[in-house]
A and B are shown apart, each in its own frame.
Chain A
């Protein structure tokens, strides 16, 4: 970015920037108006009604109808104005919170005191984020340690990055250039050093940049390698054709809603996949037994994100008709669990 010595506003570099600045302008004008009115009357009354003699001033009866009208006026007008502020802010917030369905996914892991970023295509970077202009970008963020906050002032948006949880943030960069990334939630000694740069590039430049890639393959491919390396495939089938009774088939499962053993349901999203890897016994899909060992401590947050991306890549976007829930898979899993569950369970316990 061009370091400028003096400025009043951050650049407007995203779809939100204009909207946030518009609301800001409204708030500034309203506040200035009220501040000036109050200041004027304080000064005016202080001068106009300054003490001239020692007579007791006439006491006003505020219970009178005039007083009542005044009280109601100066309660209702601010209330009305503040409801406009609320509504405007709420609508904007809703837009800021809800990423469009076809956004481009980028994964961010916060760690004392750096940002680790992974692109679906496999590119990885630290404290830098390269993105194409005019595309909806959805960040999925998590932290390896404390709470951080991914803040890009030029985009007018931020979100907390929590350990043990995925949060999302989205924006559509509208201007090519480079802008600050700040960590906005205090995270320890080098909090102020946890800053980075987001590079907004033309789509062509972005493609070039991606092409320089690291040769490790896409995140999904790396996730698949991890999947195989950890032996997940021993129990979890990952193609529609294969089924077994040990564990839910992962093909086409992402985005569906599955029945759980305790009678509740859960949507298979990033958070549920992460939870199932780290604490498999917590929420078990109906029809399966608790045989999976935990992978807590064996996987980094980056690795988890790769696994998530791999499961995502298994559908249902690839179009093949999928059974709505693995519980509905044709085989009755219960029958085979007794046999198959034994060795897997012992293997899991080591």
Chain B
């Protein structure tokens, strides 16, 4: 969001001082995240309405997801949040090599998450659990409506994954810049702002995990 090109004189002409500029970026980023909340909100609403309408279908279809793969992936993503937080930490201390290291680790963990996600998608594909003409839900209680669960599943995880992919491109950009020593204690706003974005994406997943993977694992609903 802010200029990256001249770290020493990163102050843009229309700001009075660096603090005003950084403040503006921070507020802007949080406002952007609020927009993102509402953006995901539409999907959460669809999920809520349909889970309310077809509880049995949602329970059965949720059991089709891989609990342990999901939990492992959650761990990976939280790990990437930690490395991101550390990258911001070292950026504020101006430790160039450590910034690059932790950004790279974040990239690696983010990539791992997407890899696992791809495996899960592939699995769904093999089992015809993609909503559409060939949809099947082997042994589901209410197969007709299980398609709505998977519509929500792909909608929500798909939008989440899209955010991850965008994030990964930005990390690569940040790593390149960081290697050139663009970020120091006085000015590292891009790293900090990206950190907020990355943590937000993490939070979305923190909610997606129980909502999509953890419905009625115990089979209590089946009665």
Q: Which residues of A are interface residues toward B (Cβ below 8 A)?
A: 261-263, 279, 281-283, 290, 294, 296
Contact = CB atoms under 8 A, between A and B. Distances in A.
Given A261-B223, A282-B144, 7 more contacts: A262-B223, A263-B223, A279-B144, A281-B141, A282-B56, A282-B145, A294-B144
A87 B57 CA distance: 41
Contact of A279 (B142, B221, B223): B142
B143 A281 contact: yes
Main secondary structure of the interface of B (DSSP, over half): helix
23 contacts: A261-B223, A262-B55, A262-B56, A262-B221, A262-B223, A263-B223, A279-B142, A279-B144, A279-B145, A281-B141, A281-B142, A281-B143, A281-B144, A282-B54, A282-B56, A282-B57, A282-B142, A282-B144, A282-B145, A283-B56, A290-B141, A294-B144, A296-B144
Interface in B131-175: 141-145
A162 B69 CA distance: 41
A258 to B, nearest CB: 15
Contacts of A294: 144
A290 B139 CA distance: 11
B138 to A, nearest CB: 13
B60 to A, nearest CB: 10
A263 B55 CA distance: 12
Interface residues of B, number: 11
A281 B146 CA distance: 11
Interface of B: 54-57, 141-145, 221, 223
B222 to A, nearest CB: 8
B135 to A, nearest CB: 14
Nearest to B53: A282
Nearest to A286: B223
B55 to A, nearest CB: 7
B182 to A, nearest CB: 52
A262 B141 CA distance: 11
Nearest to B140: A281
Contacts of B55: 262
Nearest to A282: B142
B52 to A, nearest CB: 12
A279 B142 CA distance: 8
A31 B197 CA distance: 50
A243 to B, nearest CB: 22
A265 B54 CA distance: 14
In the A-B complex, the 10 residue pairs with the smallest Cβ-Cβ separation, listed nearest first, are: A282-B142, A279-B144, A281-B142, A261-B223, A262-B223, A262-B221, A262-B56, A281-B141, A282-B145, A263-B223
A261 B220 CA distance: 12
Nearest to A283: B56
Contacts of B54: 282
Contacts of A296: 144
A261 B221 CA distance: 9
B221 to A, nearest CB: 6
Nearest to B141: A281
Nearest to A279: B144
A202 B55 CA distance: 49
A281 B142 CA distance: 5
A283 B57 CA distance: 10
Nearest to B144: A279
A279 B145 CA distance: 9
Contacts of A282: 54, 56-57, 142, 144-145
A263 B220 CA distance: 11
A263 B221 CA distance: 9
A191 B9 CA distance: 63
Contacts of A263: 223
A193 to B, nearest CB: 32
